[in-house]
Chain A
Amino acid sequence: MTRIFSTAMTEFRIALRNRWVAIALALMAVFSLVLALAGSAPTGGLGVDRLSITVASLTSLSVYLIPLLALLMGFDAVAGEAERGTLPLLLAYPIAREEVLLGKLAAHLTILALAVLLGHGLAAGVSILSDAGALAGLPALWRLSWSSVLLGATFLGTGYALSALSRRPSGAAGLAIGLWLGLVVLYDLALLSAIVADNGGWFTTKALPAALLANPADAFRLFNLTASGAAAAASGVGGAAEVIPLWQSLASVLLWPFAALALATAAFRKVTP
């Protein structure tokens, strides 16, 4: 436990000095504020409080931004140590490889959580100040916050796995960006075009829900949209939230972090310094 904690402290310090903490916090704060302020326009007619509207926008933001931040922080974890030449010495110490990863995860996840709390806190503040009814949206915001952290954990774990697999930071960075593009951007486009081609057939009814649950970013979006009952307003593949039960998307959101970390551990075990 001391070893994990010490690794986490050291990693946090490094992230602080590399400006990663500042970058994550600033990005989340700026985007959340913009969305909270822009979200004021459509409130009146919909009969929904202002914060709930903002949560729907923040969900879309998180789907893009959290995986990106997590992958950017994670890609260096193993490959960076290998390139700097710090890995052989570290692995000669009485610390298990899982402990190294858990320590790094604790530090990086803390940074993401701080960024999420700051961003969401600002959004909530702006909404509540201008609309007292916005308090009704707090449960949805809270749900978005913790699921964002879990989404971050998933992509941090995936980032570590890529880092261990490629062993060079440049290669790991390329893989990380590729994965982000693939899972967050191209995946949905591919599904949409498949739906159009399929025209309501087997793919749309059977394969699509499974495909959405298999992608942690989509499962995260589904979970938040389903839980807040905002699926009707959602566009794109988010519309599928109606047909997928909440427990399924919740299970995906909860299980993915562990799966990603297991993947990272398996990949790291194969690294010979």
Chain B
Amino acid sequence: MTSTLTISQLTKRFGDVAALTDVSLGVAPGERVALLGHNGAGKSTMMKIILGLIPSTAGDVAVCGFAPGSAAARSAVAYLPENVAFHPALTGEEQIRHYLRLRGERPALAMGLLEKVGLGQAARRRIGTYSKGMRQRVGLAQALIGHPKLLILDEPTSGLDPVSRREFYTLLDELASHGASILLSSHALTEVEARTDRIVILSKGRLVAEGTLADLRRRADLPVMLHITARNGYAADIMQSLGGGILVDGALHLSCPQSQKLETLGRIASLGTKVADFDVLPPSLEDLYAHFSRGPQA
């Protein structure tokens, strides 16, 4: 099956400023891809090019085989902008009914969509009275309209509480299981970690890393942290025999390169009863992100 979204050598310049340089990326049907990057890394620009809202300087983008912004591409794509906004004088239901009609769907589906995002009670109130989280839910509801083949979600969980975030990702899983491709950007790295298939890191407009979390961990080759709790009095002993580490609240924190992980583990095991407990902490997505976004040479 071909990709839902194909981006090849995409470049976008605003005057002298390069917003995106030579970015290539494909998203397969049913795949959930997280786009990570600092503010100004080019995430929103890339999304707007995919949507056909702004033209690219060079490179090719195809959405389900169509040019971005063409009628066919727009029918296939749902979008949730960063800080989504609606006219404050309309009610949630009226707004969704309007969006349904624009997509050629039955307006009667509006209530169902709003209930799906937990806004059933507030559907008949004006959006002007909604909180930021509620507006975000209206945004989610409109992104679910029809059966989009590709969802472009810019910071979709900002303004949502942890429970709503979980519900939101459950909705995404459901869509992905029906074959929808999802490209989302987020600052909340921990939630992206568990809920997406692939991670793409943009830095200063360049794609600096791409792959599954395991892939990225392997490539970054960041040291693993070992936390060792010593039995009373043995902390100094252990420190000496392992040759390093620092003591934090009686626990020994030891950093060890990936390549020496097993060897170090063997040495810890050989310490026998001196060790009360120990944990292995793989590098977090935050660490990986910091590592890869330092620069293209990383």
Contact surface of A with B, Cβ cutoff 8 Å: 2-3, 5-7, 9-10, 13-14, 17-18, 84-86, 88-89, 91-96, 272-273
Residues facing A in B71-123 (CB within 8 A) are 71, 74-75, 77, 79-81, 83-87, 89-90, 94, 98-99, 101-104
- Using Cβ atoms and an 8 Å threshold, which residues of chain A touch B54? 272-273
CA distance A88 to B80 in the complex (A): 9
Chain A residue with Cβ nearest B77: A92
A88 touches B48 (CB 8 A): yes
19 A-B pairs whose Cβ atoms sit less than 8 Å apart in the complex: A3-B101, A7-B102, A10-B98, A13-B89, A13-B90, A13-B94, A84-B87, A85-B81, A85-B83, A86-B86, A86-B87, A88-B79, A88-B81, A91-B53, A92-B51, A92-B81, A94-B103, A272-B53, A272-B54
Residues facing A in B16-66 (CB within 8 A) are 48, 51-54
CA distance A13 to B87 in the complex (A): 11
**Shortest CB distance A93–B (Å):** 5
Contact surface of B with A, Cβ cutoff 8 Å: 48, 51-54, 71, 74-75, 77, 79-81, 83-87, 89-90, 94, 98-99, 101-104, 139, 142, 152
Chain A residue with Cβ nearest B48: A88
**Shortest CB distance B257–A (Å):** 46
A89 touches B75 (CB 8 A): no
**Shortest CB distance B138–A (Å):** 11
**Shortest CB distance A154–B (Å):** 26
A93 touches B103 (CB 8 A): yes
- Using Cβ atoms and an 8 Å threshold, which residues of chain A touch B101? 2-3, 5-6
B102 touches A273 (CB 8 A): no
Task: Name B94's contact: one of A2, A10, A86, A93 (CB within 8 Å).
Answer: A10
Interface residues of A, dominant DSSP: helix
- Using Cβ atoms and an 8 Å threshold, which residues of chain A touch B52? 92
B99 touches A93 (CB 8 A): yes
CA distance A93 to B99 in the complex (A): 8
- Using Cβ atoms and an 8 Å threshold, which residues of chain A touch B83? 85
**Shortest CB distance B128–A (Å):** 10
**Shortest CB distance A262–B (Å):** 21
Residue of B48, B142, B152 ringed by the most chain A CB atoms within 10 A: B48
A3 touches B89 (CB 8 A): no
**Shortest CB distance A272–B (Å):** 5
- Using Cβ atoms and an 8 Å threshold, which residues of chain A touch B86? 84, 86
**Shortest CB distance B60–A (Å):** 20
- Using Cβ atoms and an 8 Å threshold, which residues of chain B touch A93? 74, 99, 102-103
Evaluate whether A10 and B90 lie within 8 angstroms (CB atoms) in the complex, with A3-B102, A88-B81, A273-B53 already known: yes
CA distance A93 to B84 in the complex (A): 14
- Using Cβ atoms and an 8 Å threshold, which residues of chain B touch A84? 85-87
B98 touches A92 (CB 8 A): no
**Shortest CB distance A19–B (Å):** 10
- Using Cβ atoms and an 8 Å threshold, which residues of chain A touch B98? 6-7, 9-10
**Shortest CB distance B10–A (Å):** 17
- Using Cβ atoms and an 8 Å threshold, which residues of chain A touch B99? 93
A6 touches B102 (CB 8 A): yes
A18 touches B102 (CB 8 A): no
Task: Name B85's contact: one of A3, A14, A85 (CB within 8 Å).
Answer: A85
**Shortest CB distance B253–A (Å):** 46
CA distance A273 to B45 in the complex (A): 11
Given contacts A88-B53, A94-B71, could you give 4 more A-B pairs where the C-beta distance is less than 8 Å?
Answer: A14-B90, A89-B85, A94-B104, A273-B53
CA distance A86 to B103 in the complex (A): 17
B74 touches A94 (CB 8 A): yes
CA distance A88 to B84 in the complex (A): 9
CA distance A273 to B54 in the complex (A): 8
